[in-house]
């Protein structure tokens, strides 16, 4: 069996996924849409996609089985629900929604329509998360008592390095209104590291925010669309298995950026940071470096490390681009498999909600001076 897929959005991020969906052996055709004709025709020519159209509505009116959304993040929730109601399976770039209410409505829409939904959470397939998940399954850490995860992404508007690309994509005037969104409204890259290793979810959260005072004004509550003053937010979460999780979402930080994690277990621990990955036991002699997280496979599935299970990927992906630590190929393959088999993918809508909702609550806690608040949970979905 194979599917027809419509890709909506031919912007920067979609460039990584168009060639993957196009090459997947169980995708029989790709339809590419973007409101911007220039982007649409350039991407169609570059990746050899014959069928194009302008809008999501055009895609939904076509005979595609599934839709992949690479549109701006605040559009994802409404667009995904519109596509599900039109009878299409949905893949969405992160985050899945813009509020707790919208997330709940999305979960209910998936439940009502019975369609497949996947949020493309790249951190779920990062080498250190794959490695720790596998070790946890084997009982290597003992009981995990604390998970720590961070996502560091400074987007100073005056920056002239690669972060300047973000500023250049939209006019500086619009950028400054949008960039200052609360970091905890985009928490999926961190929450998913903690949840992706232990399987437990956040039940209560208290958080603290750094009130930014940089002259660029990104986090001036009178300037940005969100009345938000926090550039960095740290949450302490109580997990459903009794452990704690400390989550950092930082947007103003002297750091080149990325996703990092520590696992603190009763038998062993993992420290994964810019300095490398080290596993530690009870004695100094148990300490060893985990090079499989960094050693790349130059020959196939570019960008993947030895710790990632590339044997499950389609052979057709072998020489194709694969960004964000090799996670893109796993995500694209998960979605096509799910559509074909009818089995929900690992980063399904119930997991997506658990990656996102604690962040909205954490932001509220920051505004209330760190008070601990309950995290709504919309269930684990079907077994």
Ligand X SMILES: NC(=O)c1ccc[n+]([C@@H]2O[C@H](COP(=O)([O-])OP(=O)(O)OC[C@H]3O[C@@H](n4cnc5c(N)ncnc54)[C@H](O)[C@@H]3O)[C@@H](O)[C@H]2O)c1
Interface with ligand X (CB under 6 A)? 8-14, 33-36, 39, 55-56, 70-73, 75, 93-94, 122, 169, 324
Query: SS3 of 349, please?
Result: helix
- Choose between 8 and 237: whose C-beta lies nearer to ligand X: 8
Written as six digits, the tokens of 153 are: 């992404």
Shortest Cβ 72–ligand X spacing (Å): 5
3-state secondary structure of 302: coil
The pair of three-digit structure tokens given for residue 355, joined into one six-digit string = 């990656």
Alpha-carbon distance of 210 to 143, in angstroms, equals: 32
Cα dihedral: 129, 135, 137, 142 (round 10): -120
DSSP 381: -
Decide whether 80 or 94 has the Cβ nearer to ligand X: 94
Closest separation in Å from C-beta 163 to ligand X: 12
Closer of 238 and 331 to ligand X (Cβ):
331
What SS3 class is residue 262?
Answer: strand
Show Cβ contacts of residue 314 under 8 Å, excluding neighbours closer than 6 positions.
Answer: 23, 24, 25, 333
Q: Give whichever of 2 and 82 is closer to ligand X, judged by the CB atom.
A: 82
Q: Which residues have a Cβ under 8 Å from the Cβ of 285 and sit 6 or more positions away?
A: none
- Return the bridge partners of 7, or none: 32, 68
Residues facing residue 151 across a β-bridge: 249, 259
Q: How many CB atoms lie within 10 A of CB 367?
A: 16
- We find the least distance from the C-beta atom of residue 168 to ligand X, in angstroms, to be 11
Give the residue with the Cβ less far from ligand X, 68 or 290.
68
* Closest-approach residue to ligand X (CB): 11
Query: Judged by CB, which is closer to ligand X: 268, or 293?
Result: 293
Question: Min. distance of Cβ 301 from ligand X in angstroms?
Answer: 18
> Hey, what are 167's tokens?
């500023």
């Amino acid at each position: 069996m194979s599917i027809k897929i419509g890709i909506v959005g031919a912007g920067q991020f979609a460039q990584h996924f168009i060639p993957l969906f196009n090459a997947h052996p169980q995708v029989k055709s790709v339809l590419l849409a973007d409101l911007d004709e220039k982007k649409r025709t350039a991407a169609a020519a570059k990746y050899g996609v014959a069928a194009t159209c302008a809008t999501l509505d055009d895609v939904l009116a076509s005979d595609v089985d599934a839709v992949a959304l690479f549109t701006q993040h605040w559009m994802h929730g409404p667009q995904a629900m519109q596509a599900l109601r039109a009878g299409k399976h949905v893949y969405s770039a992160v985050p899945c929604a813009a509020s707790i209410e919208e997330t709940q409505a999305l979960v209910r829409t998936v439940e009502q329509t019975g369609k497949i939904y996947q949020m493309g959470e790249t951190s779920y397939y990062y080498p250190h998360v794959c490695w720790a998940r596998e070790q946890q399954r084997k009982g290597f850490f003992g009981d995990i008592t604390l998970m720590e995860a961070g996502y560091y992404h400074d987007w100073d508007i005056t920056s002239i390095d690669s972060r300047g690309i973000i500023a250049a994509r939209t006019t500086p005037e619009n950028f400054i209104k949008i960039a200052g969104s609360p970091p905890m409204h985009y928490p999926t890259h961190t929450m998913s590291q903690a949840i992706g290793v232990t399987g437990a979810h956040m039940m209560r959260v208290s958080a603290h925010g750094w009130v930014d005072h940089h002259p660029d004004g990104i986090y001036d509550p009178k300037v940005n669309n969100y009345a938000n003053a926090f550039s960095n937010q740290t949450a302490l979460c109580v997990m459903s298995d009794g452990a704690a999780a400390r989550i950092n979402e930082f947007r103003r930080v002297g750091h080149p950026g990325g996703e990092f994690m520590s696992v603190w277990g009763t038998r062993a621990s993992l420290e994964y940071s810019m300095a490398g990955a080290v596993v530690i036991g009870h004695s100094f002699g148990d300490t060893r470096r985990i090079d499989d997280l960094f050693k790349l496979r130059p020959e196939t599935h570019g960008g993947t490390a030895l710790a990632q299970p590339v044997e499950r990927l389609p052979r057709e992906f072998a020489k194709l681009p694969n960004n964000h630590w090799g996670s893109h190929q796993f995500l694209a393959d998960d979605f096509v498999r799910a559509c074909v088999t009818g089995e929900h993918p690992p980063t399904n809508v119930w997991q997506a909600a658990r990656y996102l909702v604690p962040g909205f609550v954490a932001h509220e806690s920051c505004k209330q001076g760190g008070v601990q608040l309950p995290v709504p949970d919309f269930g684990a979905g079907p077994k």
